[in-house]
Chain A
């Protein structure tokens, strides 16, 4: 971070979010999903994968993933996936359901510590990890993007509350909301 900014919080533009359910033990399912979305589904709990400039896949549960597609990539993805996936899988467009922000800066971890009881220390939550957890009085998916930079995905209806919460929590670290010049 520059110019004395301790924590920055800016909304990320995500083209589409999809919720995908399927059998992680089935390589066929994983291959088909990867070929359509361009990103491999992580099978290790609480991890995420990304294909730079393309898509990210977050492990939500043993049979559940959240796919975040870059602008332009997500169009018709729900139906394209449905066309090729086994009918026992579930795919749901949840693009409207989520808001994603990037929290970055050397004190970003402290803002997370104020917001959630999860252990975000790099020893426990290194780059490539993600977790669904309590966040203030709501919930969020938090992913470690790089050192001192986190992607946070939360429900749209909580966006006003959580953005104000983050701004408040970051204030003492000389925060910038990313919108000011």
Chain B
């Protein structure tokens, strides 16, 4: 693989036997199994991986993990495309296709303008003028965006898994591994998650031995022990993305992304929803870059990242290294570089007199250490070629001597460490600044979460291992496992004595910040030190405001690199300390998550459950059109070949009026109510009385809210002295059940009454029409069906078609009707028997549309269609269903006398007859008194239900009209959106059989 010009001949954790071919921006390149896309790109000598957001400057890879701001790529194309992935976190696979994100043509055009765009430019220019913003926003959005949305439906599958554990350890670096090990040994249930494919974190690039082992051997042994324990679960490739209240955390596990883009037979990503008793955050730290002029040139990288590429991936991302550091640890990178046989041009150390053992080692290796100096500027076209260095003054805010130039093509920077405290911050706990650590550290997370290792500012590897073990033991003991003491013996590690670091957040330049070449703080959103100073000069004092004004930390990387430098620069500009200035907070997700992961399996057929009645497959076989009622699938109508919906509904309506028709009414809510106080309870819940209802009799009731408005309605039957069966509307079944429990449990616990939902237990076939009795007789019922023995509003128990049944003589159509209930397991059997027995009578199945027409012909309301939550019984002309003189009263009773409820001009239920006798008024249509009124137009009411009545051969409608009950015979108008104005006459809401004779036949 000769293309891999920057691959070392040996070493690293890559598999050289497995070469992989991939493309980047159309170029065919090669890498190895074990590479990330970033390490493979670097191995191939790819310097420029993208253009910057605002200035379109060429950018190269800076980091090696979640912090990477520049190498943001889009994988694949069309529907399977994935935008905004960090190349440093993309595992290489054969055939991977990647593009740098953004639209280079637009970016360059806008980018040329970018140099004239100061901080707050968008606010100042575009958003200050609404028309300009409206016009320019789409162009700017297109020009500035990261990545592109996929063009089709996602072909992959995602799901969720719930997990519970005693101890969740976040991060499998040195501290996390030792924490997990100690917790596991105590017997606690341990879950260990790490975002990388391999556990080990920084140990995977560690060159020092741990005791007698190589670092990776220690990792292997530790993982081996963890994996062998039944109480431990290991989740590699899993990013703990969110830390929410009550120790609820989300983990995004990437299960197939390392295999290829589309995995139709497997779950691509799984969202683990974790309830952890204890959380150990061993999230480590991310190196802090240094802010100097042109520090965004490709070839400027984090020192740790350079070391990681060399040691873990056997990649040298350049030839001549210049190390620019504020601390001792970064010297390892120069030593690693030298060990890899590459040239180190110099180590530029901010400190006056660095003197630690690593410094000595570097000098011993013949590396020039230039103390008390800084790199003030990088120079090069498309890549670093030279560094300009100069001595720094004692206070660190100005240069203290002449500049000189050094030739190098890689500048490794180390400005110290930023603990990865995002997860703790997500819980709302504000990080605190530590002057000792020169870093923000996690705040106090309480007694159910611990931070350990580098995230707490610990620098020493041995200390990380020991602290991790103690954290693991402590967390386990808090859940009742182990003593909290640890027997962990950290291996002997060569820990060189060091000299203190000298933090530096902005490297001074020979020119002032505002005039110097750009000194980038946030690479991804092109925020410079000058932008932050400008914001401060313009009066922004809060770090939160400066963040929003400059876009510092706004990118997909959430400022993982730039935030602390930005805060420090702001602090200096404001003349405050960093502690006083404070930091912005972080929110989930730690790294971007796909929508697919969030949706899981709740898509397509699982998006919302369908509830089916026992007769569902019969309806299906008859080609029923469906109506969704709540979650239920109900037949809407049953079209025959060639029939329109209206023709089918007309046929069904006439069958019910003239012959016999059958409706699947199984979906009605049904609640079995038992207890010595059942009648009393019902009296308090319903407007009407139930105490004197005879056993075997039914009564219609209205249920009101406390404010006197209608909540639900239905028929309740008295089955025995202390037993009732309540029917609710289909859509309200759960709400009514909860309502009953609420009042019983919180207000009237003294009443002896129990409620049991039997909605699913009973299948209901409503046999409707003048010939329904004949069908029931034919199918066989051991009930006296005669008119006098089985009256309207009676309920009888017996056998129908051989099934145990309850039959209600109730009617929602105004026709003779028998609602036959059997236990649901017999529902289909009953239905088939009734259809069979009814065939000689022309039995016609009908759906919800015909049900609506039949009830509207009778002026029966539907709660939720004719009522909207503001109607009282009087508004609906239903005072007959209200008994005001009960001893206890009922819910809503007293509210009925509210003055507003008594107004004469309240909207009231009326019938509406189309003036032309032909046009069906639109449901929802607004009604006005004057067909051509000057605005503002006073509304007279609206249409609530409207149908064509086949029986009456004309349209009928119900509506709510102000003072309507006194306006019978008057005309109202319904202006339509198309300019037509329909006229309707106000009539009585009962259109058919006003005497109610037909249901008693």
* Chain A interface residues toward B at CB < 8 A: 19, 21, 87-88, 90-98, 110, 113-114, 116-119, 121, 123-124, 136-138, 155-162, 164-165, 168-169, 172
A137-B602 contact, Cβ under 8 Å, with A88-B675, A92-B756, A113-B161: yes
| Contact, CB under 8 Å: B823 / A96 | yes
User: Given B275, B754, B760, which contacts A98 in the complex, CB threshold below 8 Å?
Assistant: B760
Q: Tell whether A168 pairs with B606 under 8 Å between CB atoms, given A121-B189, A158-B611.
A: yes
Question: Complex: how many Å from CA A160 to CA B609?
Answer: 9
Which residues from A are CB-within-8-Å of B762?
A: 96
Give the residue of B609, B632, B761, B826 whose beta carbon is less than 8 angstroms from that of A97. B761
Which residues B812-848 have CB closer than 8 A to chain A?
Answer: 822-827
Query: What is the bound-complex CA distance between A90 and B744, given in angstroms?
Result: 15
Contacts A92-B758, A96-B762, A117-B273 given; does A160 touch B612 at CB 8 Å: yes
Find out whether the CB atom of B761 lies under 8 angstroms from the CB atom of A94.
yes
Interface residue from B675, B759, B827 paired with A90 (Cβ < 8 Å) = B675
Q: Cα distance A119–B759 when bound, in Å?
A: 29
Partner of A124, one of B164, B756, B823: B164
The answer to whether A119 and B676 touch (CB under 8 A), given A136-B609, A137-B609, is: no
Whether the pair A88, B611 counts as a contact (CB closer than 8 A) is no
Residues of chain B lying within 8 A (CB to CB) of residue A123 = 189
Nearest-Cβ distance from residue B249 to partner chain A, whole angstroms: 13
Contacts A96-B824, A98-B760, A124-B164 given; indicate if A160 touches B675 (C-beta within 8 A).
no
| Inter-subunit contact B601/A161 (CB<8 Å) | no
**A96-B825, A96-B826, A110-B161 given; A165·B760 CB < 8 A:** no
In the complex, which residue of chain A has the Cβ closest to the Cβ of B231? A123
Per the CB 8 Å criterion, the residue count for chain B at the interface is 45
Cβ–Cβ contact A155 & B760, under 8 A: yes
CB contacts (< 8 Å) of A172 on chain B: these are: 266-267
Question: Would you give 19 A-B contacts (Cβ < 8 Å), ordered by A?
Answer: A87-B722, A88-B752, A92-B674, A94-B756, A94-B758, A96-B762, A96-B827, A97-B758, A121-B164, A124-B164, A137-B608, A157-B612, A157-B759, A158-B609, A160-B610, A161-B609, A161-B610, A162-B609, A164-B605
The minimal Cβ–Cβ distance linking B273 to chain A, given in whole angstroms, is 7
Question: Which residues from chain A contact B609 at a C-beta distance below 8 Å?
Answer: 136-138, 158, 161-162
Task: Say yes or no: A156 contacts B614, CB within 8 Å.
Answer: yes
B162 contacts A117, CB within 8 Å? yes
Which of B159, B164, B672, B825 is close to A119, meaning CB atoms less than 8 Å apart?
Answer: B164
B389 → A minimal CB distance (Å):
57
If A97-B759, A117-B275, A138-B609 are given as contacts, then 17 extra A-B residue pairs at C-beta distance below 8 Å, sorted by A number, are: A21-B756, A87-B676, A94-B756, A95-B825, A96-B614, A96-B822, A97-B757, A97-B760, A114-B162, A117-B162, A121-B164, A123-B189, A156-B824, A162-B609, A164-B605, A169-B159, A172-B266
Contact call A157/B760, Cβ cutoff below 8 A: yes
Which A residue's beta carbon lies closest to that of B601? Answer: A168
Minimum C-beta distance from B920 to chain A (A): 33
* Per-residue contact bits, chain B 38-67, to A (CB 8 Å; 1 contact, 0 not): 000000000000000000000000000000
The reply to whether A157 and B756 form a contact with Cβ atoms under 8 Å apart is no
B906 within 8 A of A: no
B513 lies within 8 A of chain A by Cβ: no
Contact of B162 with A90 in the complex, beta carbons under 8 Å: no
**CA distance in complex: A113, B191 (Å):** 15
A160 to B632, CA, bound (A): 12
Would B674 and A90 count as touching, CB distance under 8 A?
A: yes
B536-553 to A contact mask, C-beta < 8 Å, 1/0: 000000000000000000
B164 to chain A: closest CB distance in Å?
A: 4
Q: B residues engaging A (CB < 8 A)?
A: 159-164, 189, 266-267, 273, 275, 601-602, 605-606, 608-614, 616, 632, 672, 674-676, 722, 752, 754, 756-763, 822-827
Say yes or no: A19 contacts B605, CB within 8 Å.
no
Q: Which B residues are in CB contact (< 8 Å) with A93?
A: 761, 823
Question: For B613, what are the chain A residues with a Cβ–Cβ distance below 8 Å?
Answer: 157
A88 touches B676 (CB 8 A): yes
Residues of B within 8 A of A114 (CB): 159-162, 601
Is B754 a contact partner of A21 (Cβ separation < 8 A)? yes
A-B pairs with the 6 shortest C-beta distances?
Answer: A96-B824, A96-B823, A90-B754, A97-B761, A157-B611, A97-B760
With a CB–CB cut-off of 8 A, which chain B residues contact A87? 676, 722
- Find the B residue at minimum CB distance from A16: B823
The distance from the CB of B238 to the nearest CB of chain A, in whole angstroms, is: 15
CB distance from A90 to the nearest CB of B (A): 4
B753 to chain A: closest residue by CB: A90
CB-nearest residue of chain B to A111 = B161
Which residues of A have CB within 8 Å of B161?
110, 113-114
Give the residues in chain B near A96, CB-CB below 8 Å: 614, 760-763, 822-827
Cα–Cα distance between A156 and B610 once the two chains are bound (Å): 11
Partner of A92, one of B606, B611, B672, B722: B672
A residues less than 8 Å from B763 (CB atoms): 96
In the complex the two chains form, what is the Cα distance from A163 to B324 in whole Å? 62
Instruction: A161 to B608: give the CA distance in the assembly, Å.
Output: 9
Q: Determine which of B163, B672, B756 lies in contact with A113 in the assembled complex, contact meaning CB atoms within 8 Å.
A: B163
Inter-chain CA distance A93–B822, complex, in Å, is: 12
Closest CB in chain A relative to B437 CB, distance in Å: 38
